[in-house]
Chains A and B, each alone.
Chain A
Amino acid sequence: ELKVEQNPLFLSMQEGKNYTIYCNYSTTSDRLYWYRQDPGKSLESLFVLLSNGAVKQEGRLMASLDTKARLSTLHITAAVHDLSATYFCAVSNSGGGADGLTFGKGTHLIIQP
């Protein structure tokens, strides 16, 4: 059974600081996703990571994937208040074909001025 663990589950940080959210998963997978969810809203896709060593960056967010370690990281650089949200990583359930995703429990991020 595929399990996805995120840490930390809750993070409060100050604007301007850097931090990393970690996502570990238990079995081989070929796709990992990062999503953002604002309170009362649906999920917004941030990154799709498809191969070992993949690195993607968008603004102050950068995601990477190490398939050998079964680890993905979401790094926040010089945080700003607008990045406050819950961040989920999700891993595909099987090696091929469109299928459901297994989500981590989410990291609730609060960025304080």
Chain B
Amino acid sequence: GAGVSQSPSNKVTEKGKDVELRCDPISGHTALYWYRQRLGQGLEFLIYFQGNSAPDKSGLPSDRFSAERTGESVSTLTIQRTQQEDSAVYLCASSFDRVNEQFFGPGTRLTVL
């Protein structure tokens, strides 16, 4: 079956612009997660959705970052007024329930010039 998909795969933007990243989870997965991976680093948790609610927003690095999810489907991560330090790969993952592993998408590589 189809895995987690993300778009775009690459995004180059200028400092100060807004960007929107999209994630399509695996069908039937109620939980959805966003992570950020800087070059050569581990993953940094950003936000988690259960259905379309986000009980854990603790990882969002600043108020320039926001995310929403439509039902148990698509999620978008929006970064406003991008900064160079936002450059990273943004990974989305989904899972069926709390005890199963998270399945990761291919990521969106964001470069802020």
Contacts and interface: CB of A to CB of B under 8 A. Distances in A.
Interface of A: 31, 33, 35, 41-45, 48, 50, 88, 90, 93, 96-106
Interface of B: 30-31, 33, 35, 41-48, 50, 55-56, 58-59, 91, 93, 95, 97-107
B57 to A, nearest CB: 10
Given A42-B91, A100-B33, A103-B43, A48 B101 contact: yes
A100 B56 contact: yes
B45 A45 contact: no
20 contacts: A35-B104, A42-B91, A42-B105, A42-B106, A43-B43, A43-B93, A45-B101, A45-B104, A48-B101, A97-B50, A98-B30, A98-B31, A98-B97, A99-B48, A100-B46, A100-B47, A100-B48, A101-B33, A103-B45, A106-B42
Contacts, number: 68
A102 to B, nearest CB: 7
B98 A88 contact: no
B41 A105 contact: yes
A42 B107 contact: yes
Contacts of A96: 98
A50 B99 contact: yes
B99 A88 contact: no
A100 B59 contact: yes
Q: Which 9 A-B residue pairs are closest in the complex by CB-CB distance? A: A100-B45, A98-B31, A103-B42, A45-B101, A98-B98, A43-B104, A103-B43, A105-B42, A42-B104
B6 to A, nearest CB: 9
Contacts of A100: 33, 35, 45-48, 56, 58-59
Contacts of B50: 97-98
A88 B101 CA distance: 13
Contacts of B46: 100
A42 B33 CA distance: 14
A69 to B, nearest CB: 21
Contact of B42 (A44, A50, A88, A97): A88
